[in-house]
Amino acid sequence: MKVTVDKSAGFCWGVVRTIDIAENQLDAVNEDGKLYCLGDIIHNPMEIERLRGMGLETITREDLTKVRGGKVLIRAHGEPPSTYQRAESLGIELVDATCPVVWKVQERIRKFYEQGFQVVIYGKKDHAETIGLVGQTAGEAIVIKSLEEIDKVDLTRKTVLFSQTTMEKETFYKLKAEFQKRVKELVVDSFEDEAVEFHAKDTICGQVYGRDKKLREYAAQNDIVIFVAGRNSSNGKVLFRICQESNPRTYFIENAPELKKDWFEGVATVGISGSTSTPQWLMEEIRRKIEDGYRGS
C-alpha cells in the first residue's frame, strides 16, 4: 500500500505567519512572562495543544480583565476595533498576528461603511473572522450564508457585498447574481480596484479557492483519501466537500486515533490531505500510523 501526503495541503501563508509570530513571542518571554492568545490560534486542536505545551494560553474576550498588563496575541482571524480599545484601557500589550488578507478585508469594509454603504457579508455569523469584519461597521453589517437570507437586506439601499475569506465560491456567486437582479446600486468588492463601482471579483482567499483543482486531481489519483482538519474549521469543511466530490471514499478525521482499519482493506493507494490550518507534522504522523498499522490490510 502506497501512502502519500498531498504536497499542496497544510498551512496557508497567513497561518504560517501567525504560528511564526506566536513561536517567536514564546521564545522571547522570560520566566516570569506569559503569552495569551485571544481565542484558539487556529481551528486545529492538535496544533493548539502543541503550542500550549510551549506556553501559549488561550483566553476569551471575557478573560481580558484577568490578564491586565499582560501580552495578548491577536490570531489570524482578526478582531473588531472594540477589542483593541478594551486592551488599551487595560494596559494590555497586543501582538497583532491578523492575516494580511483578513486585515485588507477589514480595511475595505470600513471604507465602504464610512461612505454610507449597507455592508452585507457572506459568512458565518459566529465565526471569529466574521465578528471582526462586522466590528468595522459598529455592528451594523448584515451577515448571510444562503439565498434564503437575502430578505434580511434592505434591497433599496446602495449595498456592498463581501465574503468571509474561507467561504465557498459557488454560493457566493449565486448570491451575487441574485443581488444584481434586485439591488440597483451594488458593489461586489475586489482588492484590485479602489473605485466605487460594480466588480466581478470577491474577497474569498485565493489560497482556499486556489486549492480546488489540485485537490480534486489528488483525490482522484488515490483509492481512498484521509482528510485531516479541525472540526471547527470552515476552510476544512469546504475543502473536505471538494475532496469528497472527486473521491467518495474520503474520510474526515481530526487525529490519528480516529483511523479505522476497515477503510484500508484491499486499498493500494492512500492520499492524506488537509485544510489550510492543518499542520504538516500532523499529516506526517498520520502517514506513519497508516504505514505502521494498516499496510497489508
15-31 b/e (C-beta count within 10 Å ≥ 16 → b): bebbbebbeebbeeeee
Q: Across-strand partners of 253?
A: 228
Cell matching residue 135: 466590528
Which of 62, 107, 114, 129 is an active site residue? 129
Alpha-carbon distance values, 8 to 5, 65, 194, 214, 275 (Å): 9, 41, 32, 7, 10
CA 72/CA 54 separation, integer angstroms: 15
- Spatial separation of the C-alpha atoms in residues 279 and 277, rounded to whole Å: 6
Measured distance CA(130)–CA(133) in Å, rounded: 5
Active site residue 129: yes
Q: Where in the sequence numbering do the catalytic residues fall?
A: 129
